[in-house]
């Protein structure tokens, strides 16, 4: 009995008409749809449990042919001649108001056999198919915003509803809001609008739940005033979900009349919601590509491409009328790398965003601020008459950046170097403008932090010359254009030659002599300082070994400056050992000169490298002492042998020996630390006398000899010692 009740409850849940008969045709069970005669003109009228359905079919007056066919199929299945049959009927073959499909299936339970009869009205299904076809055909050939307009129009036509709209979720809105992409309002497209989701039937849909309210919509959502305006009675809404599961918006139909149950509308909307989500996602991807082509994602500022467009328009405007002057600013943050390296790139990005925000506050609404990449920004300043106006903006910008930036728990100070280029008749493109401003910015950066510089043509000439020089420099070593000169280092105690300092010289084939002040900085920037440094070390070791033998003086030493980049090479010690072994020079004959700035790069690693060099036997000299920023507190712990007093201190000593306080202090400190002192730039007998009085042990300078090429120095040495 319990099983039968469960079976009855199950078949009652079907919208289709369901009947169960035994093998003789007696009706054992009927569902509620069958009892209600829910499908007109079907063989369900005047039937009840206990009746013989086969007899009813064989004796019915109307639709005799249909009834006979059903009876024949039931008997064949009851005799196990087949297990199922499916019969389709419509008004073309029988006088039926609605299309009909009948499923007849055999049911067996142990020795018992029965027949299950299921009758469906196909009108609703056909209507759904027609509706689907009409929407598919109406939207198949359109994309973009036209797709959404076409979709809502054809949905209202296919489903015979008053309203349809498709929406997109608005980002970063609290509470949540959506805006319509297309809205059909009874007889025409309505104006697109946005609205809050709270207390609306759309709220759950955007949360990911498909909803349908067949009737009494206003009573269910009494706080939604829009439903009153639309005279809404029924509603169906489905979410638009993209390929990654994110809800992009929703698709909705609303009618002024009740819907039968909303299931058809819901099914159709679900189908087209997938297409709408794909189209919306495609559009978003296109929009993102278009945005990325013109804007910077991090700061939401125009990028170089969009700035170039604005610059070209400003340039064309200026060419038509020279009264429309403008200026271009190129800004580069000072010490931005230190923020990234110390606090991380996330803090660096946050700083860039805050920089952009603060820069905007300095500008007019008509000015264009762009991020060019990294820590570089640019500004287009139109409708100005003088460079003074541009200079005032530069000062205003620098003043605005003086206040600290708060990056989480960190407080950061920064500034910008600014280059400014003014509109000129001979400019050809936006790239020329940016180039000129960039050149001026580098000049400003060379002057120190928080500076600005105005472009003039001489700066461009300098840059062009420097580029040519850089190109030539890359080939100079291979072409044999570098020479080494040597300046003697003299013992101030007995006047004997103690050694030499090696100095590199570049003899350019067209420009002639290029000063070390030019090419050393160039070598550092291009990385060529590394091969140049190894070439110098190899050459001076060969040269000193030769002089030690020729002058029969194995105590002669050679001092060579070693650059920061060369010092940081991972195989420094191994390469140095190989050079010494190849040239046959003893390690103690080689004096490596390092600068105070090199010591401050990474103290721990630097100290370890110095100890290895000291362990190898090389001498270590601290060059240009007093001009850098090393800490005297750890000078005693450095494994160095000598301090070299910078020439700027020596040359202040006058004919009476005055102005020697700094030199005296350095000598005394060196003595207390057990270090030798070498004074550079000795040019007068008075300077020499004062240094001897202070007991400075070694010196070099034009008083003894200028730097000489190897041949001239050989002659000088022979003359001096003969």
Structure-token pair, residue 255: 């009618």
How high is the mean pLDDT of the chain?
85
Q: Can you tell me the mean pLDDT for 106-127?
A: 78
The pLDDT-based confidence of 43 (bands split at 50, 70, 90) is low
Q: Can you tell me the mean pLDDT for 63-76?
A: 83
In this model, does residue 18 exceed pLDDT 80? yes
List phi, psi (to 5°) of 426: -90, 5
In this model, does residue 29 exceed pLDDT 80? yes
Tell me if 505 sits within 8 A of 520, measured CB to CB. no
In this model, does residue 641 exceed pLDDT 60? yes
- Given this model, what pLDDT does residue 138 score? 56
Task: Give dist(CA 248, CA 197) in Å, integer.
Answer: 14
**Most trustworthy range by pLDDT among 187-191, 395-399, 568-572, 635-639:** 395-399
Using DSSP's 3-state secondary structure scheme, residue 600 falls into coil
Residue 561, beta-bridge partner list:
593
Tell me if 237 sits within 8 A of 260, measured CB to CB. no
In this model, does residue 409 exceed pLDDT 80? yes
Q: Can you tell me the mean pLDDT for 279-292?
A: 87
Tens digit of each residue's pLDDT (9 = 90 or more) over 149-183: 888 887 887 788 899 999 999 987 778 899 999 99
Residue 187, beta-bridge partner list:
none
Longest CA span, the chain: 149
List b or e across 618-656, with b for residues whose CB sees 16 or more CB atoms inside 10 angstroms. Answer: bbbbbbbbbeeebeeeebeebebbbbbbbbebbbebeee
Cα-to-chain-centroid distance, residue 53: 75
- Given this model, what pLDDT does residue 94 score? 47
Task: Give dist(CA 149, CA 381) in Å, integer.
Answer: 42
The string of DSSP codes covering 229-256 is: HHT--EEEEEEEE-TTS-EEEEEEEEES
Burial class (CB in 10 A: 0-12, 13-18, 19+), 607: middle
Tens digit of each residue's pLDDT (9 = 90 or more) over 574-611: 999 999 999 999 999 999 998 877 776 667 788 888 89
Structure-token pair, residue 539: 């050459």
Nearest to 382, CA basis, from 447, 315, 466, 335 = 315
- Given this model, what pLDDT does residue 612 score? 92
For the four alpha carbons of 575, 577, 578 and 584, in that order, the dihedral sign comes to: positive
Tell me if 21 sits within 8 A of 115, measured CB to CB. yes
- Given this model, what pLDDT does residue 299 score? 93
Task: Give dist(CA 665, CA 660) in Å, integer.
Answer: 9
Report all structural domains of the chain as residue ranges with CATH numbers, in order of start.
2-121 (3.30.450.20), 125-292 (3.30.450.40), 304-455 (3.30.70.270), 487-503+528-721 (3.20.20.450)
Percent of the chain with pLDDT over 90: 41
Task: Give dist(CA 315, CA 258) in Å, integer.
Answer: 64
Phi-psi region of 468 (alpha: psi -120 to 50; beta: other; left: phi over 0): alpha
Structure-token pair, residue 82: 């087949």
In this model, does residue 630 exceed pLDDT 70? no
Structure-token pair, residue 185: 């309002």
The string of DSSP codes covering 662-699 is: HHHHHHHHHHHTT-EEEE----SHHHHHHHHHTT--EE
Lowest mean pLDDT among 47-61, 223-237, 567-581, 612-626: 47-61
Q: What is the CA radius of gyration of the chain?
A: 46
List phi, psi (to 5°) of 306: -65, -40
Query: Nearest 10 degrees: CA dihedral of 224, 229, 235, 239?
Result: -60
Residues 6+ apart with CB under 8 A from 482: 476, 504, 505, 506, 507, 532, 535
In this model, does residue 187 exceed pLDDT 90? no
Look at the block and give the residue holding tokens 């001239």.
712
Task: Give dist(CA 702, CA 705) in Å, integer.
Answer: 5
Nearest to 7, CA basis, from 28, 37, 36 = 28
Structure-token pair, residue 225: 């005033």
**Most trustworthy range by pLDDT among 340-354, 460-474, 497-511, 692-706:** 692-706
Burial class (CB in 10 A: 0-12, 13-18, 19+), 474: exposed
Tens digit of each residue's pLDDT (9 = 90 or more) over 448-457: 888 888 888 7
- In this structure, which long-range contacts are made by residues 356-364, counting pairs with CB atoms below 8 Å and at least 24 apart in sequence? 356/299, 356/300, 356/301, 358/400, 358/401, 359/331, 359/397, 359/400, 361/400, 362/393, 362/396, 362/397, 362/400, 363/393
Residue 545, beta-bridge partner list:
none
């Amino acid at each position: 009995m319990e099983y039968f009740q469960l079976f009855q409850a199950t078949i009652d849940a079907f919208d289709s008409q369901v009947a169960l008969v035994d093998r003789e045709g007696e009706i054992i069970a009927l569902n509620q749809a069958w009892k209600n005669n829910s499908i007109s003109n079907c063989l369900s009228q005047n039937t009840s449990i206990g009746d013989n359905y086969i007899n009813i079919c064989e004796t019915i007056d109307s639709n005799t042919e249909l009834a006979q066919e059903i009876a024949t199929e039931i008997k064949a299945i009851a005799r196990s001649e087949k297990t199922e049959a499916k019969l389709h009927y419509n008004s073309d073959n029988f006088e039926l108001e609605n299309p009909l499909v009948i499923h007849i299936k055999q049911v067996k339970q142990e020795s018992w056999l029965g027949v299950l009869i299921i009758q469906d009205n196909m009108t609703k299904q056909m209507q759904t198919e027609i509706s689907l076809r009409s929407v598919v055909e109406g939207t198949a050939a359109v994309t973009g915003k036209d797709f959404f307009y076409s979709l809502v129009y054809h949905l209202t036509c296919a489903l015979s509803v008053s309203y349809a709209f498709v929406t997109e979720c608005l980002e970063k809105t609290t509470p949540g809001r959506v805006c319509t992409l297309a809205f059909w309002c009874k007889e025409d497209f309505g104006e697109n609008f946005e609205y809050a989701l709270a207390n609306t039937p759309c709220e759950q849909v955007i949360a990911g739940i498909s909803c349908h309210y067949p009737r009494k919509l206003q009573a269910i959502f009494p706080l939604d005033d829009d439903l009153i305006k639309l005279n809404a009675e029924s509603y169906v809404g489905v979410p638009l979900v993209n390929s990654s599961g994110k809800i992009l918006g929703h698709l909705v139909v609303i009618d002024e009349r009740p819907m039968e149950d909303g299931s058809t509308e819901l099914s159709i909307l679900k189908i087209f919601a997938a297409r709408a989500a794909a189209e919306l996602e495609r559009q978003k991807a296109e929009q993102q590509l278009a945005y990325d082509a013109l804007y910077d994602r991090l700061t939401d500022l125009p990028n170089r491409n969009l700035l170039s467009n604005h610059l070209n328009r400003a340039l064309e405007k200026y060419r038509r009328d020279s009264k429309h002057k403008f200026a271009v600013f190129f800004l580069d943050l000072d010490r931005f790398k230190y923020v990234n390296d110390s606090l991380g790139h996330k803090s660096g990005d946050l700083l860039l965003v805050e920089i952009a925000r603060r820069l905007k506050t300095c500008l007019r609404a008509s000015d264009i601020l762009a991020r060019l990449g990294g820590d570089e920004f640019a500004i287009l300043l139109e409708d100005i008459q003088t460079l003074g106006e541009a200079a005032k903006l530069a000062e205003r910008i620098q003043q605005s950046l003086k206040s600290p930036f708060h990056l989480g728990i960190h407080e950061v100070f920064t500034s910008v170097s600014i280059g400014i280029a003014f509109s000129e008749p001979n400019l050809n493109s936006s790239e020329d403008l940016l180039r000129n401003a960039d050149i001026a910015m580098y000049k400003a950066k060379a002057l120190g932090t928080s500076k600005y510089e105005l472009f003039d043509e001489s700066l461009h000439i300098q840059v062009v010359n420097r580029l040519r020089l850089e190109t030539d420099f890359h080939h100079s070593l291979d072409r044999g254009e570098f020479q080494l000169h040597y300046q003697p280092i003299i013992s101030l105690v007995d006047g004997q030659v103690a050694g030499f300092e090696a100095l590199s010289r570049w003899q350019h084939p067209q420009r002639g002599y290029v000063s070390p002040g030019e090419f050393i900085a160039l070598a550092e920037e291009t990385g060529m300082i590394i091969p140049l440094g190894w070439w110098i070390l190899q050459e001076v070791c060969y040269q000193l070994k030769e002089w030690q033998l020729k002058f029969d003086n194995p105590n002669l030493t050679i001092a060579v400056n070693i650059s920061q980049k060369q010092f940081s090479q991972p195989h420094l010690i191994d390469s140095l050992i190989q050079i010494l072994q190849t040239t046959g020079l003893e390690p103690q004959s080689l004096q490596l000169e390092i600068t105070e700035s090199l010591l401050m790069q990474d103290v721990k690693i630097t100290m370890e490298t110095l100890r290895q060099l000291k362990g190898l036997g090389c001498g270590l000299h601290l060059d240009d002492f007093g001009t850098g920023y090393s800490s005297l507190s750890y000078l005693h712990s450095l494994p160095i042998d000598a301090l070299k007093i910078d020439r700027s201190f020596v040359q202040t000593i006058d004919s009476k020996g005055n102005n020697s306080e700094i030199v005296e202090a350095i000598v005394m400190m060196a003595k207390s630390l057990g270090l030798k002192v070498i004074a550079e730039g000795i040019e007068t007998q008075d300077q020499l006398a004062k240094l001897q009085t202070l007991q400075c042990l070694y010196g070099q300078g034009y008083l003894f000899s200028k730097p000489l090429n190897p041949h001239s120095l050989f002659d000088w040495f022979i003359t001096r010692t003969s």
